[in-house]
Structure 1
Amino acid sequence: MRKKKGNGGMLHETLSSLYSSQPSSTLYHYTSLSGMMGIVEKRNFWASDIRYLNDSEELTHIESWLQGEIIERVQQSNTFQEVLMQFREWLRERLNYGPMVFVGCFTENGNLLSQWRGYCPHGQGVSIGFDPTKLVKRASLNSFAIGKCIYDRVTKSELAKKVIDAVISASQKSGESDKYHPSQSYYAIFAEMELQLLRIAALIKAESFKEEAEWRLVSQPLSSYVEPEIKFREGSSMLIPYMELPLVDDNKKIEMEHIFVGPTPTMNLSVDSVRRYLSREAVCPTISNCGIPYRG
């Protein structure tokens, strides 16, 4: 976590709390057969820009909770109306077009039908299980932190209150700036809090995804696409920015705890082919049939 500095430090405790929990059981990543081969042979994991993931509300889901808290505060009192209205407008822009946040997505459930359907090509999916302690260590070496996604309404509401409290406190401390247009006189304050707010937002997901029990590796926010570590890959209709997260030291085999082979019409052959491939390229003691019937 970043050290306290200026108004950004006002969210330090909230951010640290969110990233303090550590996974204790195997964490799985769903991908394709070719995706598995890429991870094994390149010995790294691709963390994608969060705004390019499948969920259209990524990074912006927190906005509805913050907007609701803003409306409630304004209705109760007009004391901080100006700063809250400015924060409301600032949010709409920065959550959509602000600094990049790269995430790697994992789950506690390595054999979930909705995950096979949502994240794997039909008949070509695998779920790779990693030792959580080793995964967290590698993430930390590359300036990534791990956090458990938040789905429940109570926690989201509490987080929204803490963020708005921090905004109000910072506005009282620093006051308005005459360097900006009067309609944006508090924007400098919000900018100091932006990087921490983005890392909080990266863990907030809609309640409908709760069964995924997702954990995320989350990068420090980056402001420039010309950063040397940022690469691009082809998506279904766009180019997706990503970063490579090394999983082992050079020339060492990747260690996996377990792999599920997803629904496929050739289950026995599929499991056997994965086992043969990994016996040469990686360490994986257990490879399992997912047990879910395939429907073509």
Structure 2
Amino acid sequence: MAYFEYKPTTPLFYYADVESFENIVRSKRLWLTDVTASNDPREIRMGRELFSAAVNALTEDDIPLLNRRDMAAFLADILRLSRTSTCYTVCFGLAGDELPMWREYAAGGTGVSIGFRPTAMNAIPGRMQLVRYSDETTPAVFREAAIRAALTMGKPRTLSSVLAASEAFATFTSLKHRTWAYEREVRMIFNQRHEKPEPGEILTQMVSAHPDGSIVEWREPLARQSRGRTVSYFEFPFGRHSNNGTDARRAIEQIVLGPQCEMTVDEVTAILSSEGYEGFSVRASDCEIQ
């Protein structure tokens, strides 16, 4: 079940080359890939460092009767979670026809952008986030997150501590460097520990849940080659989740053809219609690339 930390109200655009586009609309699945394989090497690391600094800077002026030992244990748990688990993500843009995005993510403008309705993400058992980009306000944001964690964490190894750690972890998974701000990124994050839990570890077997109450348990990620390295990922169906499965018929609101895409509006319309999609539009990009 998707947890909407951020609730989008407009289409979420996924830029893709033609082959990926066809695979997505035919499989009705999205890949959530290890975030450390992204094009920004600072993913996770920058947020982790900022949150650690904010926690270590807290004083009794911020939190009366601050228990530094409990706060240190709380920070250790979060850093352990970061070290022993992987964040898998699929990334979207809020704009579906942007030159830098065509060049970076759609094979130089020869691909398409797929505008998903926000409800299409309901079936994915992850956390929807609006990415923050570092600026002069970022230290204050992390200071507030550290104070909020200190006020809600309770005692170490308790449920309140686990929930507070999850919220704190989300703070630094949603941060990127300001040089990527043009992307206006929204992302779905799915987190899973590296090692399979022992059979008796009931709580850690349960990674997430679907709206009908069915549990998403730990499973082995898939693997593929990218940029000379093996990258782990998960496939999840998109669309509305129901007791009968996932319904993707109205998952796609719009397709924008890249400025150098060789597919036509009629061809893309035919592909979507043949796969059972409804209520979509297709248009050519307003951009031009020489």
Q: TM-score, normalised by structure 2?
A: 0.71
**1:112 and 2:98 correspond:** yes
CA contact (8 A) 2:77 2:165 kept: no
* In structure 2, distance between residues paired with 1:254 and 1:275: 14
Partner secondary structure for residue 286 of structure 2: coil
* In structure 2, distance between residues paired with 1:275 and 1:126: 13
Q: Deviations over 1:191-232 (max 9, x none)?
A: 88554433222211222222222111122x211355435211
Q: Which runs of 5+ in 1 are unaligned?
A: 2-15, 176-185
Residue 210 to residue 47, structure 1, CA distance change in 2 (3 Å): same
CA contact (8 A) 2:74 2:165 kept: no
Residue 49 to residue 193, structure 1, CA distance change in 2 (3 Å): farther
Q: Which runs of 5+ in 2 are unaligned?
A: 197-217, 240-244
Structure 2 counterpart of 1:182: none
CA contact (8 A) 1:262 1:290 kept: yes
Q: Given the alignment, which residue of 254, 261, 267 partners 1:258?
A: 254
Q: Deviations over 1:151-203 (max 9, x none)?
A: 263663343113433565689x658xxxxxxxxxx9xx998855443322221
CA contact (8 A) 2:131 2:186 kept: yes
Structure 2 counterpart of 1:6: none
Partner secondary structure for residue 294 of structure 1: coil
Residue 162 to residue 62, structure 1, CA distance change in 2 (3 Å): same
Task: State how many pairs are aligned.
Answer: 259
**Which letter maps to 2:281?**
T
Residue 86 to residue 270, structure 1, CA distance change in 2 (3 Å): same
* In structure 2, distance between residues paired with 1:279 and 1:170: 50
Q: Quick one: percent identity of the two aligned structures?
A: 18
CA contact (8 A) 1:255 1:282 kept: no
Q: Given the alignment, which residue of 11, 17, 23 partners 1:32?
A: 17
Q: Given the alignment, which residue of 187, 198, 201 partners 2:172?
A: 201
**Which letter maps to 2:9?**
S
Q: TM-score, normalised by structure 1?
A: 0.70
Question: Structure 1 or 2: larger helix share?
Answer: 1
Q: Given the alignment, which residue of 271, 276, 293 partners 2:288?
A: 293
RMSD of aligned Cα (Å): 3.8
**Which letter maps to 2:135?**
R
* In structure 1, distance between residues paired with 2:170 and 2:55: 20
**Which letter maps to 1:129?**
G
**Which letter maps to 1:101?**
C
Question: Structure 1 or 2: larger strand share?
Answer: 2
State the shift of 1:98 in Å. 3.0
Task: Tell me which moved more, 80-89 or 231-240.
Answer: 80-89
Q: Given the alignment, which residue of 264, 278, 281 partners 2:272?
A: 278
Q: Deviations over 1:72-126 (max 9, x none)?
A: 558x99x97888788888877764x331122221111001111112212234321
